Chain A
């Protein structure tokens, strides 16, 4: 895979051979990446950035302790091994890793319009055209930020259990941040992500989505009424469903949080180890986490510990069902890993993470969901959001939202505020649509911070009798 590494000191199999004799377990990770980033501000290309990275890391288990070291500059592999063992000797916590099948495999994400064949001029022209199309709407958009990045990642992973995984992973990411000035100032942000090549722009339908964002926000800025308060029904669009499942199902299901390993940073979880089977929502709530969706932003075939990826049902028919595991958390709970360990780069440890989390769709059409709502809110997407560190009290504020009256969408409303507990949200769900959609995001966790590419999604879902303030 990385021919320049064969025979030179970055040959990770050679390093593994050296280190496995001295430790109880060892894994070596090699990663090489090339990332191109374009930042356009108000029609001007403010930054063109190329980042080239190559490095290795070593994680070892030695006498009950874990040590992790990485470098992109030292070729002294003996020193690297020495440092890893020294790090592991810092602790004797009886840390272990679950026994897993050791796979030897290679996975490649295909591209139709290859990143390596796409030149800078084409990308700049695409962004300039997108900016032009937005301005042609005649909506007042005084501040416009676009950021486009493409990455080619080569990875090789080996461990002392015999696993050897090689991966080639091209990715595209994009976001816009828009400020629309009408009677009021409204702002819109949306992120897009895709594993593959520049066919991503067509897959995302980027131009139409961006133009609709401009028009929708303009409606809110100029015609938006004050949001109603009190008890009413709510339709959450796929973006809102997606952020809710990411924050209040995916995160609290991470086993390291549940076991306290993240508690001084991203926090713990309202879910405890013994809560599998307990109710958290209505029977219509099933939430899955699936890294194997091809071309998804969070795609992987094997996780960061060489464990084969599979779909997991975190909440099933309203009940807590399964956690997200690394080999370390699975060992602590005495079970097998379900392949959820991810590391944002070669120089970060793999820990339980989400990849693509979504509310499993139902069979309602949008018209069927809305037809018997007498009075309510349709929150198409959101602006401000947050959740507490046990993942129980969350808040979503509508970006483009509308009143629903007698089964019909009426006036736009400004920033309706839903502030609700996790069971409060999921127990109010009484129907799920068939319009599954995903949005990209950068999920933050760990120390040092590991920002990871994810998809989050779901269909339009209906909640009954929730309180807006």
Chain B
């Protein structure tokens, strides 16, 4: 289908065309209060199409395939009426050496409800969560390349409540069933909730904090948007003018990669995805680019073209030098296990706040001294990265709902002097 659409648009007069066809088969089981609420299955197809007539550009997403010829003609008519896009410098003509993506075909036939029942058997209290499995096939065609992709992934998320406000949240996500362990995630969430006793309202001030991989994954998700070249131009990036600058200590390296939970062999221009070190040994290295932004920034595409603007795929933070136990050994400060609702007051400066949820522990000399609740991390993203003190060797692949929307591998991280606030009344 992709080649047919490509040829039709070229015949209608387009100078450049990209056609990406996606077929999704997704299944989800949701549960709460220890019972399955609903099971869902989506079988959907979409065609993402880019057309250029000189510098006049047009994107379209077609999910109604009944009148495709008429849709293509409409797109061409609109492209003729569009103004010249001064930010457009062509699509990729090279970079098409694709790697392979491996996934476990058994995921396709996995029974989601069985994982829910197995997990619930492990725990007491009440719990809520989801099992989600995805099987996605993608094909891309441009005048310069043609390729296809197939991936599958499975995700489990569980929040266990022992009583009102006493909760722990864990996830298990994988591209093969061997590494998918919802029972362990449930058991870990339950153990966290058991440790989290009689929480008191926390006190404001500066604290050293250890962020769990789930929390750190969320922070990274709100960071990656700043790495897109589009964001840099749009006033949405706290990494503007930071290339070559030290933004974190030497022990910190953060990578965007095409391989992970949401693997992809090529970006939305058909360029092979790879590994891009965004921050290497603490130094900010690159923004994420498509062909056009790369020309503007006088560099090469990083294989991160999204339909409109460069996007990140999967993140990976390199392992640190300390074991997890060493991080907690004689630690005084807050261990934060999960967060949500991160918002910025200024995306260029990176001033933000986020609200820790689930288990929050105040440690003194390596021991849990108190459980806390009702606090907020109110700080600055650039300061947060600069104040990283240590990272754990142990890392986890995390993905959770909207807060860790882009999956990745994160360690435990110790950050000095983080500003904590709370409600005044």
Q: Are A419 and B40 CB-contacts (below 8 A) given A54-B63, A124-B82, A386-B353?
A: no
The yes or no answer to B206 lying at the interface (CB within 8 A) is: no
Residues of A close to B355: CB separation below 8 A: 386-389, 393
Distance between Cα atoms of A277 and B348 in the complex (Å): 45
Q: Is the CB of A67 within 8 A of B39?
A: yes
**Beta-carbon nearest neighbor of B38 in chain A:** A66
The yes or no answer to B223 lying at the interface (CB within 8 A) is: no
* Chain B 122-134 interface 0/1 with A at a Cβ cutoff of 8 Å (1 = within): 0000111110000
Q: Are A177 and B28 CB-contacts (below 8 A) given A52-B71, A388-B355?
A: no
* Chain B 47-82 interface 0/1 with A at a Cβ cutoff of 8 Å (1 = within): 000000000011111111110000100110011011
Q: Is the CB of A39 within 8 A of B308?
A: yes
The yes or no answer to A384 lying at the interface (CB within 8 A) is: yes
Residues of B close to A262: CB separation below 8 A: 32, 128
Instruction: Tell me the minimal C-beta distance from A152 to chain B in angstroms.
Output: 12
Residues of B close to A67: CB separation below 8 A: 38-41
Q: Is the CB of A32 within 8 A of B348?
A: no
The one of A95, A124, A386, A449 in contact with B354, judged by C-beta atoms closer than 8 angstroms, is: A386
Residues of B close to A393: CB separation below 8 A: 355, 374, 376, 422-423
Q: Is the CB of B130 within 8 A of A390?
A: no
Residues of A close to B342: CB separation below 8 A: 386
The one of B39, B78, B308, B349 in contact with A87, judged by C-beta atoms closer than 8 angstroms, is: B39
Q: Is the CB of B425 within 8 A of A51?
A: no
Residues of B close to A47: CB separation below 8 A: 57, 59, 308
Distance between Cα atoms of A32 and B126 in the complex (Å): 40
Residues of B close to A66: CB separation below 8 A: 37-39
Residues of B close to A52: CB separation below 8 A: 60-64, 71
Q: Is the CB of A384 within 8 A of B41?
A: no
Q: Is the CB of B32 within 8 A of A419?
A: no
Q: Are A447 and B130 CB-contacts (below 8 A) given A51-B61, A179-B348, A393-B355?
A: yes
Residues of A close to B58: CB separation below 8 A: 48-50
Q: Is the CB of B37 within 8 A of A70?
A: no
Contact count band on A: 35 or more
**Beta-carbon nearest neighbor of B82 in chain A:** A48
Please provide the chain B residues from 136 to 192 with a CB less than 8 Å away from any CB of chain A in the complex.
157-159, 161, 165, 169
Instruction: Tell me the minimal C-beta distance from A30 to chain B in angstroms.
Output: 12
Binds A, one of B229-237, B244-252, B409-417: B229-237
Residues of B close to A143: CB separation below 8 A: 233-236
Binds B, one of A18-26, A71-79, A199-207, A333-341: A71-79
**Beta-carbon nearest neighbor of B83 in chain A:** A45
The yes or no answer to A349 lying at the interface (CB within 8 A) is: yes
Q: Is the CB of A419 within 8 A of B422?
A: yes
* Chain B 186-220 interface 0/1 with A at a Cβ cutoff of 8 Å (1 = within): 00000000000000000010000000000000000
Q: Is the CB of B83 within 8 A of A264?
A: no
Distance between Cα atoms of A384 and B380 in the complex (Å): 13
Instruction: Tell me the minimal C-beta distance from B293 to chain A in angstroms.
Output: 11
Residues of B close to A469: CB separation below 8 A: 204, 421, 424
**Beta-carbon nearest neighbor of B130 in chain A:** A447
**Beta-carbon nearest neighbor of B292 in chain A:** A46
Q: Is the CB of B345 within 8 A of A87?
A: no
Contact count band on B: 35 or more
Distance between Cα atoms of A468 and B345 in the complex (Å): 16
The yes or no answer to A65 lying at the interface (CB within 8 A) is: yes
**Beta-carbon nearest neighbor of A145 in chain B:** B234
Distance between Cα atoms of A263 and B125 in the complex (Å): 14
Please provide the chain B residues from 381 to 399 with a CB less than 8 Å away from any CB of chain A in the complex.
none
The yes or no answer to A90 lying at the interface (CB within 8 A) is: yes
Residues of B close to A7: CB separation below 8 A: none
The yes or no answer to A310 lying at the interface (CB within 8 A) is: no
Instruction: Tell me the minimal C-beta distance from B90 to chain A in angstroms.
Output: 15
The yes or no answer to A250 lying at the interface (CB within 8 A) is: no
Distance between Cα atoms of A386 and B403 in the complex (Å): 13
Distance between Cα atoms of A260 and B129 in the complex (Å): 10
Distance between Cα atoms of A298 and B69 in the complex (Å): 34
Q: Is the CB of B422 within 8 A of A87?
A: no
Residues of A close to B294: CB separation below 8 A: none
Q: Which of B234, B235, B352 has the most CB of A within 10 A?
A: B235
**Beta-carbon nearest neighbor of A84 in chain B:** B41
Distance between Cα atoms of A61 and B403 in the complex (Å): 31
Q: Is the CB of B233 within 8 A of A50?
A: no
Distance between Cα atoms of A391 and B195 in the complex (Å): 24
Residues of B close to A223: CB separation below 8 A: none
Q: Is the CB of B42 within 8 A of A69?
A: yes
* Chain A 1-32 interface 0/1 with B at a Cβ cutoff of 8 Å (1 = within): 00010000000000000000000000000001
Q: Is the CB of A46 within 8 A of B159?
A: no
Residues of B close to A467: CB separation below 8 A: 424-425
A-side interface residues toward B, CB under 8 Å?
Answer: 4, 32, 39, 41-42, 44-55, 65-74, 83, 86-88, 90-91, 93, 95, 119-121, 124, 142-145, 177-179, 185-187, 259-265, 267, 347, 349, 383-390, 392-395, 397, 415, 417, 419-421, 424, 428, 444, 447-449, 466-469
Could you list some 7 contacts between A and B, CB below 8 A? A54-B66, A67-B40, A70-B41, A145-B236, A261-B32, A386-B353, A420-B424
| Nearest 9 Cβ contacts at the A-B interface | A143-B235, A91-B36, A179-B235, A384-B345, A54-B64, A467-B424, A90-B39, A73-B45, A264-B159
